[in-house]
Amino acid sequence: MEGRIVLSEEDIRRRLRELGEAITRDYRGKDLVMVGVLKGAFVFLADLVREVDLPLEVDFVAVSSYGADTVTSGVVRIIKDVDLDISGRHVLLVEDIVDTGLTLRYLMDLLRAREPASLEVCALLNKPAARKVEVEVKYCGFEIPPLFVVGYGLDCAERFRHLPYVKVLESGDAEDALSGENGKEGIGGR
């Protein structure tokens, strides 16, 4: 699989430690629930919670706004809602990537209606140049230009999530993934 690596395994690991330290400091003594946005954030969330030195609970929400496309449709559908009661609790919504802000805005409105004590966002990747609506990302792993990237949980047509780094999706890889051919690599393949 060809393509320019945007974030190496080492870059991600180092930033995860820094984010974990900041979250630990900011939420010490608070009832923390980390809510991962499926499917893209599952790898990031799994590694991030191990860097947070606090008792916490984890839940998930699943949404769809891309389908098998590389451009968001702008229509957000809830596929799985949170199971925990988050009212009065401190909620940290964990996203893989924030680009247009439409999905994040929808999720923030949905969760705010449940009256958490606080609601903040932690995103591995932030693409402010792609914004259509303003959203605040309190904990940002990395800011990137408006490229379509895969790896470390991010996908194209459900492929490439297994990569331990983040890379730019090349047109040939996208075509293979969307057609269902040659998109599957071995674990850790480069």
Tell which CATH architecture fits domain 9-147: 3-Layer(aba) Sandwich (3.40)
Phi, psi at 13, each rounded to 5°: -60, -45
Predicted TM-score (pTM) of this structure = 0.86
Q: Which residues are catalytic?
A: 99
Sort 185 into a burial class: Cβ within 10 Å, 0-12 / 13-18 / 19+.
middle
Phi, psi at 23, each rounded to 5°: -65, -40
Residue 171 confidence (pLDDT): 74
What is the band of 21 on the pLDDT scale with cuts at 50, 70, 90? very high
pLDDT, one tens digit per residue, over 70-110 is 455 567 788 999 999 999 999 999 999 999 999 999 999 99
